[in-house]
Structure formats: structure tokens, C-alpha cells
Structure 1
Amino acid sequence: MPTFVYMTRCDGCGMCVDICPSDIMHIDTTVRRAYNIEPNMCWECYSCVKACPHHAIDVRGYADFAPLGHSLRVIREEEKGTIAWRIKFRNGTEKNFLSPITTKPWGQEIPKLADQPEPSPEMRDSQLLFNEPKYIRLDDGDLHTLESNGLKMKEGVYY
């Protein structure tokens, strides 16, 4: 699902250029707008889509995920700690998929692994990955719910 840019929404801020790991997002010097110089080389990490503050970047979905003629929009809401994928089908039907964000908020420094304490023997023997409880918000020992995250169940949204 390579990305594409809506030129009318893009203001040329360059957030997508800075975050693209394959260096295929560029700013057109003539119109000062972002564009994907090589869609076939897109890693489909969607970092640019999530980072764009103007929702100017969308993705073309695969047929098994969203049928031909659809539009796919990514909405990142850091204050709520969620990311939503909205699919709009040709007939106007919309489906929304909501997921928690498990990464650091935009602009915060990522901690260096060398600065982290060494895992205990219990942690090494457990089924969990390194720091998994902390990063999936299980560090307080309880699984978070929609209500505990300040969210409400909505009609047509799939959690």
C-alpha cells in the first residue's frame, strides 16, 4: 500500500521527509509540497502517514483489506493515545478501526537501550519481551480498557 499525498492539504512542513526510513518522501522545490518519488520502494511502515499533521498523506489499500475504489485515512490522536484507520467504501459505507498507540509521543526522546537496567532472571525466563509490560501499559498490573483511557464505544468503530 504505497503512500500518496493530497497536494491541497500538504503545506510542505517536511515531517514526512524527516521520518521516512526509505528516503522516498521529498519536497517539490517548485510547489513546496511533499510527494513520494518512488511508490514501488515504499516499505509500508506508514510513518509518514502517522507523522503528517495535516492528514495530507493517505495509502492505497490492498484488495483483501479494502476493495477497489475505497479511501483509507489514518487519524492519530496523541492526546487520547489512539490511532484510527478509517476505510470509506465506494458505496459510502465507512468502517473505523481504533488501536492504542504504543510508541512515545511525537517529539520525545526514545530511551537508549544501554541506559536501561539489565533484565532480572525472572524477566529473562518470562514469555514477555523486554519492557513489554511498560510499553503496552501493563506496568500497573492491570489491562487498560476503553473507559480507563477516557474513550467511549461508538457505533461503527471496531476496537
Structure 2
Amino acid sequence: MPTFVYMTRCDGCGHCVDICPSDIMHIDKTYRRAYNIEPNMCWECYSCVKACPQHAIDVRGYADFAPLGHSVRVHRDEQRGTIAWRIKFRNGTEKNFLS
């Protein structure tokens, strides 16, 4: 699931840029906010999600297992250094994933 940035939460600290192994996270020079320049090249390691102190980076679900109308919520465990996410389907059922 590729990452995306909530611009209203991002403070432009650059932690995501420093940690991204595929070098696709960049800081917009005008707005000083991070963004993913090539979501299709995301390795899905979620290092940026774990590193973001503002919790501004989230993930999008793929249509094959999270069809239209779904929502994805990321849960960060900073002590263990892991993330999990919960997908809520249109019919109300939920599924949890751990990375």
C-alpha cells in the first residue's frame, strides 16, 4: 500500500526524506511539506510512516483487497517500532494487518 502525506499535519521536518530507502519522499520547496514523488515506486517498508513525528504519513489500500468505500487506519507502536493497520470495509467488517 503506497504512502501519502496529509499536508495539514506535515511540518516539513524531513525525517521521511532521510529514512526512505527508495528516495521517493521529497520536501516541496515552496510549501515546506513532504510528498511522495512516485507512489508506484514505494517499497512499502513504511519506514517513513514509523519515522514521522507528526503522524502525517498514511497508506492507501489496494483495490484487490480493500475495494472502493474502504478506510485504512494506521496504528503506530513507537516502543516496538512496528505499525499495524485496520481496514474497514463498506459492509462494516474490519481486518487487521501487522508489519
TM tier, shorter chain? 0.7 to 0.9
Distance 2:80 2:3 in 1: 25
RMSD, aligned CA: 2.3
Distance 2:71 2:52 in 1: 17
Q: Is the 8 A contact 2:50 2:78 kept in 1?
A: no
- TM-score when normalising by structure 1: 0.53
Query: Residue 85 of structure 1: CA displacement?
Result: 1.0
Query: Residue 83 of structure 1: CA displacement?
Result: 2.9
Query: Residue 69 of structure 1: CA displacement?
Result: 2.7
Runs (5+) with no aligned partner, structure 1 = 100-159
Q: Is the 8 A contact 1:55 1:75 kept in 2?
A: no
Distance 2:56 2:92 in 1: 21
Cα-to-partner distance string for 1:7-47 (whole Å, 9 max, x where unaligned): 01111111111110110100111111000111122112211
- 1:52 to 1:90, Cα distance in 2 relative to 1, 3 A: farther
- Percent of aligned pairs with the same residue? 91
- 1:95 to 1:57, Cα distance in 2 relative to 1, 3 A: same
Runs (5+) with no aligned partner, structure 2 = none
- 1:26 to 1:80, Cα distance in 2 relative to 1, 3 A: closer
Q: Is the 8 A contact 1:72 1:87 kept in 2?
A: yes
- 1:64 to 1:25, Cα distance in 2 relative to 1, 3 A: same
Higher strand share: 2
Structure with the bigger RCO (C-alpha within 8 Å, sep 6+) is 2
Aligned residues: 99
Query: Residue 84 of structure 1: CA displacement?
Result: 2.5
- TM-score when normalising by structure 2: 0.79
* 1:91 and 2:64 aligned: no
- 1:81 to 1:58, Cα distance in 2 relative to 1, 3 A: closer
- 1:37 to 1:93, Cα distance in 2 relative to 1, 3 A: same
- Aligned with 2:16: secondary structure? helix
Distance 2:56 2:16 in 1: 10
